[in-house]
Amino acid sequence: MIPNRKALVCIGLLVITGTVQAATFINACPFVITSPGDYLLAANLMCGGGDGITINTGNVRLALEGHTITAGVGAKRAIVASKQFGVLQNVRILGPGLITNSGANAFSAGVFLDFVVNAEMSGITVLGALGGIVTGDSSNLTITANTLWQNNVGISLGDAVPRFRKMTSAVTAQVFFTKISAPR
């Protein structure tokens, strides 16, 4: 009976070591995510001259880890999840974390999603952007526990058939909806 136990222990260790994947740390922007996996903000970022973090693939978890993304000169959007052709699936953008302006510089969007299905944005604070959370053609969104403060628009849902799983975020700005239809 003892030899069987040893065999089971060895098999168990092989399975455990085969499934561990390291996260990718983000220390600078611009940063483009092109492979599925876990991505962690490892430092506060000053992003100018375009988009800060761009997600071009599905099955991504981006954790802000309590860090700040600040708009620099020429900043566009802090975090973008969009694909030129096709649809992204399973994108999670998680706080805690702060997306903010730097006085004269502001992001056009704190988080921008276009052609994304099954996305979650949770625990993020967006302060002073033109749009806090902005979506295009996206569905099955979970937007919870975010603070959208002093933005021109808190949440903008454009060109979408939003089928929200859950939406509970503190918004202290106007919410803008376009082309909304009932869930199917």
pLDDT tens-place string over residues 88-113: 999 999 999 999 999 889 999 999 99
| Mean pLDDT (whole number) for 8-21 | 47
Assigned domain for 4 exists? no
Assigned domain for 3 exists? no
Assigned domain for 68 exists? yes
- Whole-model pTM: value is 0.79
Query: C-alpha dihedral over 156, 159, 165, 167, to 10 degrees?
Result: 10
Work out how many domains the chain is built from and give that number. 1
Assigned domain for 110 exists? yes
User: For residue 21, what pLDDT is reported?
Assistant: 74
Q: Which amino acid is residue 57, in one-letter code?
A: T
Q: How many CB atoms neighbour CB 117 within 10 A?
A: 17
Which domain range does residue 101 map to?
23-177
Assigned domain for 82 exists? yes
Find tokens 């070591």 and name the residue: 17
